[in-house]
Amino acid sequence: MRRKKLHTVAFVLTGVVCLVFILNKNDFESDVTLITEDDIYEKLHQQNSIFETLQPSSSYCRQNVSAYNVTGFSTLPKHIQDFLLYRHCRSFPMLLDVPDKCGGPQNSADVFLLLVIKSSPENYERREVLRKTWAKERQHRGVWIRRLFISGTSATGFEKHRLNKLLKMENIENNDILQWDFHDSFFNLTLKQILFLEWMERWCPHARFLLNGDDDIFANTFNMVEYLQGQKGNDGSKHLFTGHLIQNVGPIRHPSSKYYIPVQVQESKRYPPYCGGGGFLLSSFTAKTIYNMSHYIDLLPIDDVYMGMCLEKAGLQPTSHLGVRTAGLHIPAQNVDKFHPCFYREIILVHRFLPHMIYVMWDEIQNPHLKCGKQILQKSRKK
């Protein structure tokens, strides 16, 4: 009797296991069906999995162990210690590339304005909004505007894999992402810039002008084209570097600051003139010059300052453009809609916009019936 009960229990358990297997098998098969019906996923599965090529970033570059001998090294925050240990590292494998973005090196002069947008992997919503608004690839006033997002990697483990897959899916659909296998962080923005300039020298050497900016700016690319076409005698072959000019400042020595630069990173108390990194315009000539000068200057984690250092070494100066507002647009009047499109219609770019605001603002400044003037702003106060 006891043996019979054991046989019964075993039979029931076996049935349960089989049922679970069948149910999971059905779920799996339905998932596969969904994947094969999606064009993007089809293309993904035709290529080698990005997961197979990923290695820890540290494997590409060894620590500079002499950094441990720097006075006060052990007292520095961890991210600054890491920066000093890997400051010399400038070569990382590309995970995503678009070598045909500019039509090949020989045809890259056909690109009048290349939008180079710094973006972290997780900022999917920002990238999608920009693709539909000011960063949309198009022809304007007879010249081409092209777009690139430049990125590293974020997170670790499974989440890193998922984010890399996200970027790969986006790139298959949009052909607009450059990604390298280094940790995407504030202190690695300069590295990101140098890696892009290296890519540009190889694949897009003759693009006329560039916008270099963050993925949370609102920009008017039409105004950019008109401004750049108005540069008499400069088709990108002469110096241009303009934006929100910052002068007579130096490293911030307060450890609590995001921009903290201790003497172990830079002894000098002075920064050269530079333009705020939220967004600036430059010529192809100047981009090449910055890249050439970067070979002789140690990396500094503050990328916009580093651009200024490269310019200074080359004997070049950045200039100020009132239409570039990387510190935001100051509206002194009270009780007005600070996001009224009339305030933004004539600018080049403004830093710190949420994605939904970019989407709405772009539509509003394109309105052919938009009328601006004192009366409009007075009405704005009353609303």
- pLDDT, tens digit (0-9, with 9 covering 90-100), for 8-48: 545 544 554 444 444 343 333 333 333 333 343 334 333 33
CA atoms of 191 and 89, how far apart (whole Å): 8
CA atoms of 97 and 80, how far apart (whole Å): 30
Lowest-confidence region among 27-36, 107-116, 346-355: 27-36
| Other Cβ atoms within 10 Å of 291 Cβ, number | 17
Q: Is the pLDDT of residue 51 over 80?
A: no
pLDDT band at 139 (very low <50, low <70, confident <90, very high): very high
Q: Is the pLDDT of residue 85 over 60?
A: yes
What pLDDT score was predicted for residue 270? 98
What pLDDT score was predicted for residue 379? 56
Give the DSSP H/E element, type plus range, for residue 85.
helix 78-86
Lowest-confidence region among 50-54, 73-77, 375-379: 50-54
Q: Is the pLDDT of residue 75 over 70?
A: yes
What pLDDT score was predicted for residue 29? 35
Q: Mind listing the pLDDT tens digit for each residue in 191-220?
A: 999 999 999 999 999 999 999 999 999 999
Give the DSSP H/E element, type plus range, for residue 183.
strand 177-183
Average pLDDT score over residue span 354-381: 85
* Cβ neighbours of residue 56 closer than 8 Å, sequence gap 6 or more: none
Q: Mind listing the pLDDT tens digit for each residue in 210-253?
A: 999 999 999 999 999 999 999 999 999 999 999 999 999 999 99
Q: Where are the beta strands (DSSP E) in 31-98?
A: 94-96
Q: Structural domain boundaries of the chain? A: 94-324, 341-382
| Cα angle for residues 276, 282, 285 (degrees, 5° grid) | 140
Asked whether the whole model's pTM tops 0.75, one would answer yes
CATH number of 94-324: 3.90.550
